[in-house]
Chain A
Amino acid sequence: MSEDRHINFQLMRDRIIAAQRDSAASEADPVAAAPGKTYWRSLEEWADAPEFRELVQREFPQQAEEWDDPVERRTFLKLMGASLALAGLSGCVYQPPEKIVPYIKQPEEEAAGRALFFATAVTLGGVATPVLARSNEGRPTKIEGNPDHPNNKNSQVGDRGSSATDIFAQASILSLYDPDRSQTPIFRDDARPWTTFIGDMRTALNGADGKSGLRARQGAGLRFLTETITSPTLAAQIKGILAEFPQAKWHQYEPVNHDNARAGALLAFGQPVNTIYDFSKAERILSLDADFLSALPGNLRYARDFAARRRVTEGRKEMSRLYVIETTPTTTGASADHRWSIKPAALEGTVRLLASQLGSLPAVSANDPSAPSHTWVTQVGKDLQEHRGASVVIAGNEAPPVVHALAHAMNEALGNVGKTVFYTDPIEANPVDQTQSLRELVQDIDAGRVELLVILGGNPTYNTPADLKLDQNRLFKINLRVHHGQYKDETAELCHWHIPATHYLEAWSDTRSYDGTASITQPLIEPLYESKSEHELLAVFSDQYDKKAYEIIRDYWRGAQTANETIRVYSRGEQPAGSNRPEAAGKSVPAALAGEPNAQKPGAAAVASPAIQSSPQPSSPPMDFESWWHKCVHDGFVPNTEMPAQTVSLKTDLASQISTTAQAPPPNTLELVFRADPTIYDGRFANNGWLQELPKPLTKVTWDNAALVSRNTAKKLALGSSPAVKGRETYVDTIKITNQGRSLNDVPVFIMPGQPDDVITVHLGYGRTRAGRVGNGHGFNAYELRSADSPWLAMGVQVTKAGAQHELATTQLHFNMEDYDFSHEDRDILRIKTLKEYLEDKPEKHEAHEPGPDETLYNPEEDDYKNQGPNALNYAWGMAIDLNSCIGCNACTIACQSENNIPIVGKQEVTRSREMHWIRVDAYFKGGPENPAGPYFQPVPCMHCENAPCEPVCPVHATVHSAEGLNDMVYNRCVGTKYCSNNCPYKVRRFNFFLYQDWEQPTYQLMRNPEVSVRSRGVMEKCTYCVQRIQSAKIHSEIEGRPVRDGEIVTACQSVCPTEAIVFGNINDPNSKVSKIKAEKRNYGLLAELNTRPRTTYLSALRNPNSEIGE
């Protein structure tokens, strides 16, 4: 018996060694390796071999003696690993056999069951969000903000730093594991190896005979089209290629770009600048169509500073004041103290009026037709002037260049420059007018001057303006087209080659945040598919076509660091990398350079890396490269790379230059405003189910875009004045929009309070046809109406009623706190008052809605979850949400979804009110339906009521109270009567009506948080206050023999909140932050009159209106 086994192992070992020799031989000659003849086929043969089958069938303990022999053990494990891989993956992944062997030496810090955090960065639109990615046993499972990054830290001592991210960073985890990602290089619909692509490109460059290629013509006909590039290495690579091929050209185009801001800076200063604001010092803020709380680069920092300046807790009694002038409602406008919605055509005139009042422009003559007669403009100007040097005038990226120039001039006049407004060099490696760049490319294509187009990221076939569309007609004029992207999208369909792009969690790269601070993007996982990073793709066009991304990045930074003592000089992409690139010695270091067991632990980073507190100053002696590099990768940023503030001066002839450009808005025409979609951005996230199902902040529409119009406009177009409710679905009217001869039919209409009359807002990003299984066929493609000359606004569009009805999936049907047909009195749900009312301590009108006396037959001492006896740890968990800080950004919803393995349900189920989000952000308007204010936002997680109405009605004890006051849900015990949901006054419980979780998809299995149960069909679920995080902190504290510290437990929603509106902690501890906040006068319990005694309480919202401006 034992003899047989020994022979079996001998046979198997011989076989493996032979196979390894084979694969080594084929690797040495990659071109000879025909497609399809892969390692996996031979593995399958192994799996079928009788020796192997016998081995697998045998019981494990019988093999125990083989474990003594290291060779046998390795073989055994390798085969076990191989058979697992065969069972799980689709078989198109080349996975080197070395990687399958488990740890012989345990990697540093790695312990099964303990999550590690790695610093990296998410880039969107060229701007990085620094993040810490959580890794569970080598699988990235959750994104948190990087609190150590300078963007997230305040200068004061002891600042924990913000761990906020936006929704896109949170949802990027789902994109990584998206099964619809393209998985292999494709040439004309056939899978080809990467090496074939390299060969094909070399042939194109060098010609079949080595002479006739593009190189011979200095690259004439070679074009690169990228999105906005801030990566220093990538820019250096492109510049290296351009140096080698002087006739080649680099174009940049992204549909959501900063062209207007750039043009405005050119107008004002004669040079492009990057503008950075400091809202922590801003007393008065004037936003000119700028959604700086959720859309501008740096919005996370801005939102944090903005909220901090308006936080009226713990003795602070001052608030900044925000004026918003906008052409379409935004979340920033919803947070404003004064908000005016005006037609886009009137924006410039209004700004002009303001500018002249502030002395930036000569006074506007009274008969100037463009001058609007707003009385409030005087008051706003006066208020701003009273806060010289402590105000901010900010213009949105969509505002015309003149508005930007005037904003710069007003900031100058108000003395804000250098105090709250800073100018730096652009963070883009090569700032260009992207529309112009695209136009040049299109001209070259039309003229037949393009032979090889490399589309590096982006989806131009889908998202270019209608008059510069890179459609089939244009692209087919190019001999060879290469597309690099994560999906086989509309553009990939029209290209010869499609190379799958790596996700940022799969590849090394670098990037810059809004102020220029560079981050090394570090991967957490090997690419799931045969993807290549953009660095590797570009290397194909250099002389080192097989260089790995890690080496490219590292060599760039080595060059930058060793060439000079300070990094700063070389970090602007001026270094021509590739010229003196030393060959990398040694292998790639593992991604796990260092990790923190708990990123939330204050000072943990400092313990793990003592060098962090003493970042090298330009004067300090340079560290050796290895330690410097390790520190940069570990910390998630390269120190001292932020762009230094510059002094720029306004052009003296600014006033004369822009005085004549204003036109009177054409009367009685409709204006069409384009905006990036709040959840799926420009369409790139169309296949991300979390983002598709995330309710849009203002409309709560999911899975669709709609034309937003005001109630008056809807009446004018003879459309229904409110969404028609038919049964459970919401049907709305549709319209046909025509702009410059191009028209879109069957566009659903959504009546948006606060929308200016005669203005229609449409969001980009929908109407995808090749997004993937999730994103195809939702909404309409607004790019069809967009023109290059005026990408954000179309004047004089024609609209007719289309007659059809469209079904919109909204998660909230009622936006008023009372049904206006019944009563005009608000329900006491979302309390709002002015700062003045609050400070004057006006008697509460809400007294009737406070909880009554606690009348109970039980002993109130015993029945109180807060008193737990002398030997208990005395934790009572509670949460406070400051509605004054909430900006409705929805990040909490996505963070919760990611942390708690919450499934998506699809559009059809959302129309049936079955969405699963554990925390939702309710939006309410105040005032009559004609001209309501708001919306005001209210995040609603489970209230964890001490007298929870859900608990006594459950017949099987599936929802019970913990001693620490948590309302626990026992999934295994739940039989699904749904009575608890019926009896929940807050309706925060969610039910698995079907098997919503995808239990089959192997990549989703990798994605899930292992600490949270994956719920099955037929059970109720709801917010747990992230009980897994509570337990984890309690275990840690017990090991260390101390109680849980305040702030040690951070729930997922709290962690991600950019404005720190959510505070969680122990309410039995009078010194905890949550106790102090709950002690505020503004604190109230939602529906407290029901005597539910909610543990989640709210702080009423405050507004700080200017008393001199009437309503």
Chain B
Amino acid sequence: MADEHRSDAPHHTTVPVIDPGLTFASVTDKISSIVLKRKTPLAWFIGFAISFILFQLMLLAITNLVFVGIGLWGVNIPVAWGIDILNFVWWIGIGHAGTLISAILLLLRQRWRTSINRFAEAMTLFAVAQAGMYPIFHLGRPWLAYWLFPYPNTMGVWPQFRSPLMWDVFAVSTYATVSAMFWFVGLIPDFATLRDRAQSKTFQIIYGWFAMGWRGSARHWHRYEMAYLLLAGLATPLVLSVHTIVSFDFAAGIMPGWHATIFPPYFVAGAIYAGFAMVLFLTIPLRKFYGLEGFITMRHVHNMAKVMLATGLIVGYGYVVEAFFGWYSGNRFERYMIWNRMHGPYAIYYWALILCNIITPQFLWIKKVRSNLLLLWLISIVVSIGMWLERFVIVVTSLHRDFLPSSWGMYQPTQWDWAMFVGTLGFFFSLLFLFIRFLPMISIFEMRTILPEAEVEE
């Protein structure tokens, strides 16, 4: 199966998207056995335990926050949004890769997406879950968060539809819903496979319930294909809209450093950049650990690296244009904002961001780097950090020195800020660990369609 020379020597121009030695049966066996047959490895338990402990830290942080107040965080006047909103944007950004891979690449008939879409979609969903918590708990009175929804009420008050935060509510909730449906619909045939192969009654019932009576008839397949395509069509504009709207949170404000027309495309590119970095960061060890080199081949790795390089260049262009407009506007506040980013008290964040997000991905031009899994993995970490720094620069350094020098201030996250962030990481990985343990992390039936066996029929 996974031949050593294939993964180590990708000089062949057309590396296959799946190990040609696999068959329908072996694909199904291999993927479903992770869930059904194989003994849960000790490392899984260790990883899950760590994640789960961090998840408990998040619960502690949230409980304390609700009882004591958001003064526990480092936010203040003038920097009223800190790493809470930063993390929201960061998580949402990570969540972008999944839908992009699933929907857009599906519509573009990029067959290589099949090996990674399930996993990327799960990652999307879990990342959006983390992101969704921040807008709620960054409120001064989180128990009133439902006031942001336009529900009919006796007060006769509607939300303010001019507010970008209002648009966020729609954008994020729609995105979360559609992503969840897309993911679930894609899982139905595999649930049926698991139901059929499950060895205990309990799992048969559980998987059977989720399989919704899937029998694999032609009519089922027909309806399934149609539904999946429609959902892909629905999800596609969302990929662009969610981060566009998130960028409006800033672009609609009048703060220097926020009020920029470049924000929507630059945020979307940044999101895809961060998302692919996260997919790579997770896939490389997973593929190794579960021996999935046959499914996620070097072709995938190369493609993802190339997407990162492309989006990284767009993001880099964004930084350059931002600086250029700051100077070219002739507006003293804009000019000072750019100067302050580069020389002010938070300059180190800015230069670290340039290093992480513009310099580092340039190595991806080199094929040898793209072939070196360890290097790629490190680059994906650096890019993830860089994207976090980018949001820090946008949120914090824009706010901390705005128009009136008298109200300039400083911001520093507190241990509760970090507890919440680390806690969401814990929650995210807890969900991921559960996912790889209980669900097929690679789409079984879709993998079968790209086998050479399947091609015969076409």
Contact = CB atoms under 8 A, between A and B. Distances in A.
B137 to A, nearest CB: 11
B162 A991 contact: no
Interface string A143-172: 000000000000000000000000000000
Contacts of B164: 953
Contact of B157 (A819, A912, A957, A1018): A957
Given A816-B405, A957-B159, A983-B253, A822 B75 contact: no
A987 B409 CA distance: 11
Contacts of A914: 71, 76-77
Contacts of A978: 75, 80-81, 138, 140
Contacts of B165: 953-955, 977, 979
Contacts of B77: 913-914, 981, 987, 989-991
Contacts of B80: 978-979, 981-982, 991
Contacts of A949: 253-254
B155 to A, nearest CB: 9
B403 A957 contact: no
B332 A974 contact: no
Scoring B74, B345, B404 by chain A CB atoms within 10 A of each residue's CB, the highest score goes to: B404
A924 interface: yes
A817 interface: yes
Nearest to A700: B406
A922 B81 CA distance: 24
Interface in B117-148: 138-142, 144-145, 147-148
Given A975-B144, A1018-B141, A994 B69 contact: yes
Contacts of A728: 74, 76, 409-412
Interface stretch (B173-181, B336-344, B429-437): B336-344
Contact of A981 (B78, B138, B406, B410): B78
Contacts of A581: none
A920 B405 CA distance: 13
Interface of A (DSSP majority class): loop
Contacts of B415: none
A1018 B140 contact: yes
A825 B339 CA distance: 15
A955 B160 contact: yes
Given A953-B253, A957-B158, A983-B255, A725 B406 contact: no
Nearest to A953: B163
Scoring A955, A975, A977 by chain B CB atoms within 10 A of each residue's CB, the highest score goes to: A955
Contacts of B79: 913
Scoring A812, A819, A952, A977 by chain B CB atoms within 10 A of each residue's CB, the highest score goes to: A977
Nearest to B157: A957
A335 B334 CA distance: 33
A526 to B, nearest CB: 37
Interface in A874-893: none
Scoring B71, B144, B339 by chain A CB atoms within 10 A of each residue's CB, the highest score goes to: B71
B70 A955 contact: no
A25 interface: no
B172 to A, nearest CB: 13
Nearest to B254: A949
Scoring A818, A823, A991, A1090 by chain B CB atoms within 10 A of each residue's CB, the highest score goes to: A991
B364 interface: no
B345 A975 contact: no
A720 interface: no
A987 B402 contact: yes
Scoring B78, B80, B148, B409 by chain A CB atoms within 10 A of each residue's CB, the highest score goes to: B80
Contacts of B144: 975
Given A829-B404, A955-B165, A813 B340 contact: no
Contacts of A922: 404, 406
A494 B39 CA distance: 78
B405 A982 contact: no
Nearest to A727: B412
B354 interface: no
A814 interface: yes
B141 A974 contact: yes
Nearest to A981: B80
Scoring A728, A818, A922 by chain B CB atoms within 10 A of each residue's CB, the highest score goes to: A728
A902 to B, nearest CB: 14
Scoring B162, B340, B343 by chain A CB atoms within 10 A of each residue's CB, the highest score goes to: B162
A957 B160 contact: yes
A821 B405 CA distance: 14
A957 B161 CA distance: 9
Contacts of B78: 913, 981-982, 987
A725 B253 CA distance: 27
Interface in B394-421: 399, 401-412
A973 interface: yes
A814 B254 CA distance: 22
B403 A1087 contact: yes
B336 A822 contact: yes
Contacts of A995: 69
Contacts of A940: 404, 406
Contacts of A954: 160, 163, 165
A155 B256 CA distance: 52
Scoring B345, B407, B410 by chain A CB atoms within 10 A of each residue's CB, the highest score goes to: B407
Contacts of A836: none
A1018 B157 CA distance: 20
A851 B147 CA distance: 36
Contacts of A727: 410, 412
Contacts of B401: 819
Contacts of B336: 818-819, 822-823
A813 B405 CA distance: 8
Nearest to A730: B410
A985 B402 CA distance: 7
Given A814-B406, A994-B71, A975 B145 contact: yes
Nearest to B343: A821
A1018 B407 contact: no
Contacts of A977: 138-140, 165
A909 interface: yes
Contacts of B185: none
B169 interface: yes
A317 interface: no
A914 B414 CA distance: 15
B166 interface: yes
Nearest to A829: B404
B447 to A, nearest CB: 44
A729 B409 CA distance: 9
Interface in A793-830: 812-819, 821-823, 825, 827, 829
Contacts of B249: 979
B70 A993 contact: yes
B333 to A, nearest CB: 8
Nearest to A1086: B404
A994 B64 CA distance: 12
Interface in A686-740: 725, 727-729
Interface string B61-86: 00000001111001111111100000
B252 interface: yes
Contacts of A1090: 254, 403
Nearest to A1018: B140
A989 B141 CA distance: 17
Contacts of B68: 994
B232 to A, nearest CB: 31
Nearest to A828: B332
Interface in A1010-1029: 1017-1020
A949 B164 CA distance: 13
12 contacts: A816-B405, A822-B339, A827-B404, A827-B405, A829-B405, A913-B76, A913-B410, A914-B71, A924-B405, A956-B157, A979-B249, A983-B254
Given A725-B410, A827-B405, 19 more contacts: A729-B410, A813-B410, A814-B408, A819-B339, A819-B340, A913-B77, A913-B78, A914-B71, A940-B404, A952-B162, A953-B163, A954-B160, A975-B148, A983-B255, A985-B255, A986-B404, A987-B77, A987-B407, A1087-B403
Enumerate the 3 nearest inter-chain pairs by beta-carbon distance, A residue then B residue, closest first: A976-B140, A1018-B140, A993-B71
